[in-house]
Amino acid sequence: MSHPAPHPRKIIIDTDPGQDDAVAILLALASPELDVLGITVAAGNVPLPLTQKNARVICELAGRRDMKIFAGCDAPLAQRLVTAEHVHGKTGLDGIALPDPTMPLSPGHAVDFLIDTLRREPAGSVTLCPLGPLTNIATALAKAPDIAPKIAEIVLMGGAYFEVGNITPAAEFNIYVDPEAADIVFRSGVPIVVLPLDVTHKALTSREWVERMRGLGTEAGRAVASWTDFFERYDTAKYGSLGAPLHDPCVIAYLLQPDLFTGRQIHVAIELEGRHTRGMTVADWWRVTEGAPNAFFIGGVKRDAFFDLLTERIARL
Ligand code: RIB
Ligand code: CA
């Protein structure tokens, strides 16, 4: 008996491109298991005018001028925007010069696209994939609480526990930029999968892999090689590690092959008050509190299989 092809999983990617966001978006667009209903853009690595432009550059590079791309919130809920040009360069996509986009933004605000899509699609059929600060997601949940039970899962890159912070000693960038938004998301009751620095710092590129990307002889391969080369210099200077941590692609790889990852269902709280720890994900890894588990917190990845998946998919573009 023939088995019908499984329906592609419907996702919305929320992003602040960023070179690693770009690789994640290319991975998603190259994977037929995923149906990207749209891309919502947040301010983060660089301000919104640049992140929304970068999202269009990436989709055009993937030959997806049809993709719906919505600009979202341009500032966090309760504090001024902190950006990361020191990591991503002033454009947010430094490393290779790509043509300005010609595809338009979709009309309307990203938050309204999130709400309208979740209200329209069957309950439990759409997964949200935040790759940056959680401002758009939190704003949608606050504006339309009825969407929370309709979200299948939120699979996000953010936070850290054993790996501690990358923007402060205690906090990871995506959470630190908008801790109030993260608090709303982590207290929403929506099933959450967290890909923190604990796992993304194990997804380090190698020189051999970057050259394999360049050797694909495609625009996408050249861009991925150039982006990861640029992105690597920051982590090498800071951590002494060789290789760039592919933070955001871990989210998409988890959707495609969850067995590559290991983690625990635990309670994760967002620190809002700490003078030195604001934006920290307080992950109860050892279950020492009564906090009800609210997140699947990932700590391990099969690194070689992760990069094999990435190579095979990027080569399709
Ligand atoms: O801390 C890493 C995260 O911050 C990644 O999503 C990167 O793109 C930046 O947004
Ligand atoms: Ca990002």
Structure-block tokens of residue 90 = 């002033």
pLDDT at 4 over 80: no
pLDDT at 3: 54
Does any ligand 1 atom lie closer than 6 A to the CB of residue 92?
no
Identify the pLDDT of residue 240: 80
Burial 100-132 (b: 16+ CB within 10 A, else e): ebeeebbeebbbbbbbebbeebeeeebbbbbbb
pLDDT band at 235 (very low <50, low <70, confident <90, very high): confident
So what's the pLDDT on residue 237? 78
Instruction: Assign 232 a pLDDT band (cuts: 50, 70, 90).
Output: confident
Q: Could you tell me the pTM of the whole model?
A: 0.96
Residues 34-50 have a mean pLDDT of: 98
In the prediction, which pLDDT does 231 show? 86
* 2 Cα to the center of ligand 2, angstroms: 40
Compute the distance from residue 234 Cα to the ligand 1 centre, in Å.
13
For residue 138, is pLDDT > 60? yes
Q: Is 86 a catalytic residue?
A: no
Residue 217 CA, chain-centre distance (Å), reads 26
Ligand 1 neighbourhood includes 44 CB (under 6 angstroms): yes
Per-residue pLDDT, averaged over 215-221, amounts to 97
68 lines ligand 1 (CB under 6 A): no
Q: If you measure from the C-alpha of residue 111 to the centroid of ligand 1, how many angstroms do you get, rounded to a whole number?
A: 20
Ligand 1 near 131 CB (within 6 A):
yes
Atom of ligand 1 nearest to the CA of 172: 1
Atom of ligand 1 nearest to the CA of 21: 8
**Residue-wise pLDDT tens digits, 174-213:** 999 999 999 999 999 999 999 999 999 999 999 999 999 9
> Which mutation among 13, 16, 46, 195 tests ligand 1's pocket best, with the greatest number of atoms within 8 A of CB?
16
Q: What is the pLDDT of residue 285?
A: 97
Query: What is the CA(173)–ligand 1 centre distance, in A?
Result: 6
Question: Which listed residue (86, 247, 267, 276) is catalytic?
Answer: 247
Domains in the chain (CATH in brackets) are: 9-314 (3.90.245.10)
Helix axes 303-314, 19-29, angle to 10 degrees: 70
The pLDDT of residue 236 is: 79
Angle at 39 between CA 34 and CA 44, to 5 degrees: 125
Q: Is the CB of 247 under 6 A from ligand 1?
A: yes
Ligand nearest to the CA of 157: 1
Over residues 256-315, the pLDDT tens digits come to 999 999 999 999 999 999 999 999 999 999 999 999 999 999 999 999 999 999 999 999
- Cβ(16) – ligand 1 distance below 6 Å: yes
How far is Cα 312 from Cα 317, in angstroms, rounded to an integer?
A: 10
User: What pLDDT shows up at residue 309?
Assistant: 98
Ligand 1 proximity of 46 Cβ (cutoff 6 Å) = no
Q: Which atom of ligand 1 is nearest to the CA of 20?
A: 8
206's CB contacts (< 8 A; 6+ apart) are 242, 243, 307
Q: What is the mean pLDDT of the chain?
A: 96
- In ligand 1, the atom with minimum distance to the C-alpha of 167 is 1
User: pLDDT (tens digit, 9 = 90+) per residue, 53-93?
Assistant: 999 999 999 999 999 999 999 999 999 999 999 888 999 99
**Minimal-distance CA residue to ligand 1 atom 1:** 173
